[in-house]
Amino acid sequence: MANQVAHEAFNHLIGDLRSTHGDNLAAVVLYGSAVTGEYVAARSDYNLLIALRRITPEDLRQAQAPMREWQRLGHPLPIYFTVEELRDAADVFPIEFHQMQLAHVVLHGEDPFATMHISDANLRHQTEYELRSKLIQLRRRYIPASTSVEKLSDLMRDSLSSFAALFGAALLLFGQTPPVGKHDGVRAATKFFRLDPEPFERIFELRETGARPASEAQAHELFTAYLAQIEQVVEAVDEMRMEGNR
């Protein structure tokens, strides 16, 4: 999980939050790459969920001081929920809550995911919506990125994280339990959806080593293969919708 420096930062933040919110503070939860073991120093974030028993503008104003210090250390603002909202929103954010439920660490308070029932009624709709939105965005960003190997490599590296999470959601949709890590999750998706694993493996290598394709031709070839696999997953999710409407 996180290193000693991060633990000290967490403890300091939790102390500040307890002083700020008192009994209103229900839980502080760490989720994301720091829990799955994929945290990369200077590139990854520490993602926190803070659950309060109530949230008013005054409660948020009081959080300004501890949040200012947390951001000074280079971390993003946590997301705030009330305990009741966490229960009520489980059917609205099924992808995000499934990911948090599969990989999280409670830093303070009670585990809000321990007894949470996540309805999958909206999972197919959210999965297709997010996949199509990210696919459209990927095509759009390809236009300016296509002018150089460096820009195109950055685009593939940056986008893979989002698609890895959505591939996990697609596996859930088909009754599969996705692995926690992004790399293992993509491997499971390539096997289940019968994708070509090579584009993903090459892009993960780019992420891990910082290397780039040797030429523009190779970069465009890799992007073309990568895009085709993503389109295949979108098609599989869409076909599930069509079958459900019959």
Set out the domains of the chain in order of their start, with CATH numbers. Answer: 4-109 (3.30.460.10), 123-244 (1.20.120)
What pLDDT is stored for residue 41 in this prediction? 56
Residue with tokens 């992004």: 182
For strands 25-31 and 79-82, give the pairing. unpaired
Share of the chain above pLDDT 70, in %: 93
* Count of CB atoms situated within 10 Å of the CB of 144: 11
What pLDDT is stored for residue 3 in this prediction? 60
Question: What Å distances lie between residue 240 and 91, 95, 123, 133, 163, CA to CA?
Answer: 19, 17, 12, 18, 19
Residues 37, 40: Cα–Cα separation, whole Å: 9
User: What angle in degrees, to the nearest 10, is found between the helix axes of 149-173 and 216-244?
Assistant: 20
Q: What is the DSSP string of 83-136?
A: HHHHHHGGGTSHHHHHHHHHSEEEEEE--TTSS-----TTHHHHHHHHHHHHHH
Q: Which of 203, 146, 193 is nearest to 173 (CA)?
A: 193
Residue with tokens 């096997």: 191
Across-strand partners of 108? Answer: 28
Per-residue pLDDT of 200-219, as tens digits, reads 999 999 998 988 999 999 99
Query: Do 111 and 81 touch, CB atoms closer than 8 A?
Result: no
Q: Mean pLDDT throughout 41-47? A: 68
Q: What are the backbone angles phi and psi of residue 117, rounded to the nearest 5°?
A: -100, 115
Across-strand partners of 47? Answer: 31
CA 168, 169, 175, 177: dihedral to nearest 10 degrees?
Answer: 40
Residues 202, 8: Cα–Cα separation, whole Å: 36
Look up the pTM and report it.
0.76
CA 146, 148, 151, 154: dihedral to nearest 10 degrees?
Answer: 100
Per-residue pLDDT of 110-126, as tens digits, reads 999 998 888 877 898 99
Residues comprising the chain, all counted: 246
Query: Do 166 and 128 touch, CB atoms closer than 8 A?
Result: no
Q: Which of 49, 88, 197 is nearest to 189 (CA)?
A: 197
User: What's the chain's average pLDDT?
Assistant: 90
Per-residue pLDDT of 3-15, as tens digits, reads 666 778 899 999 9
